[in-house]
Structure 1
Amino acid sequence: MNHLGDVHLRTWTLRFMALLAADSQGQLAWLGERELETKDVVEEVELLCRVSEGLAERGVFEPEDLRALRAIGRRLGEIDATCRVGLWGNALTADPAWDDIRSLARQFLLTSLGDWRQPLPRPVRPHTGAH
């Protein structure tokens, strides 16, 4: 992988962790009218956690960052399949696993950046098919 790819993946990981670390009101505000499926969030974060292994090997993440990302990946893996069904906004308020993940994401950002309070990523606009 090239340097620019590593930088992009690190940035995407940090942005997604900022979203996971935000309080539930901030997460719900970020979601707005978007209907983001819980399974899609889980899959994206699990992918970022797996990719972080290679990033750590190349020095993009520190070993303590990798430990925190592994912990997040493990906690996501513990989310029951039935709790992955439906909208993430509903899961945020109903499933206590997201409180654990929020805490782990905050620890990751605190270790990696010195403060867990980070700007949330810009929301991706829903695809409308128009150009």
Structure 2
Amino acid sequence: MTILSQNTQVTYYGTGRRKESIARVKLIPGSGKLIINGLPGESYLQFSPNYLRISCAPLKTLGLTNEYDIYVKTEGGGLTGQTDAIKLGLARALCRINPENRTALKSEGFLTRDARVKERKKYGLRKARKAPQYSKR
């Protein structure tokens, strides 16, 4: 009987949400690559330096830029919402790695969930708050 050794790497998970977007982030010790929905992070985020900077900001704050590979499954919303969801999920995963990371991430505001979502349309109105033009006569 042979026993097969398995290569099990420690993985850390975090979930982030913003508007209609949900991002499930998986951190694995590695070289610092970012994979979003099976694509390289740069091409998924349309080579926008702003989106790339925002999504990896928690790693830069802790100085762990090239320590972990980031695998993300994201859905819903647009690129801005998905980028902010990735940022929150990444920060939550980093808190699971080491609870001492929490103070640095909290002070930068990376662990705060932005709860602003689109308001529902109400009947009798054109949008959530826009009313039809009032006519006195």
TM-score by length of 2: 0.29
- Structure with the higher fraction of residues in strand conformation: 2
TM-score by length of 1: 0.30
Higher RCO (CA 8 Å, separation ≥ 6 residues): 1
